Structure 1
Amino acid sequence: MIKKHGSAIWNGTIKGGSGMVSTESGALDKQPYGFKQRFEGEPGTNPEELAGAAHAACFSMALSLQLEQAGMEAEEISTKATVSMDKVEDGFEIMSIHLDLTAKIPDVEEAKFKEAAENAKAGCPMSKLFKGAEITLDAKLA
């Protein structure tokens, strides 16, 4: 079993308070976050942005594996994950995540590329974590 951890500290009220988020690796070390970053577009990080980055990274690695298993190797895989959170009856919920993928792969058949991308979308651990959300994918070759 592989275990990784992230941590957060929050002080104060939801609107007036602030927090810090950190990762085990130190990639994030007491990165500030708060209500304005999350709900009002103020610069800084927020949980949805971090989830999107994690999903994009996981999907990109999963695609690399799928391509390798199909006899292909990408020069570059670039993925952007857009996490959409909506207000629902009992608060907020992540309803959908859209993956925008552009890959540079020499001598590739587009059908094999699309198949590998769909397999990566279905099989990546972050996609499985978000299985309650609709996950969509636009995959194109550069």
Structure 2
Amino acid sequence: MQRAEPLRVGDRVTAEALVGGVLANMAALEAILAEEAAHVRAGRLREGLAAAEPKAALAAAYMQGLEVAKANAVALKRFNPDGVETLRAAHRRFTAAVEANQSVLDSARSVSEGLIKSLADEIGRAQVPSGYGKQAPAPSPYGRGVRSGPLVLSRNL
């Protein structure tokens, strides 16, 4: 497998094209992240996770563009200083958007973990018969100690 030659910025046109490409990838990725967060906030997890492949492709293109920009930092500053400042400001906004998206996803994860834990506790509590005397789990119908039912989850939520 042959590796492609890395892009070298040698003039203003190439510098502007590189900055424009990184900005375009960043804007598209930011839009997907905002859409994903909106779906997750509304409880539409399936729709929120539907854009995983385009998000991964845009994230890879964005990271590759950043690597090329870092490798050509001196030339970019020389040929397109305004573009570098625009890129820095856009990157700060993008970082805030990524943090907001991660916050929404972390909240959804903690809520779902809490639901599963409470469901498991409820199922475990239902297995203990109530009555007089010492509380003990119901015996297994198979004769091997304590009965424990399976925890079944629906993926169609």
Name the structure with the higher helix share: 2
Bigger CA radius of gyration:
2
**Could you state the TM-score of these two structures normalised by the residue count of structure 2?**
0.25
**Could you state the TM-score of these two structures normalised by the residue count of structure 1?**
0.27
Which structure has more relative contact order (CA 8 Å, sep 6+)? It is 2
Name the structure with the higher strand share: 1
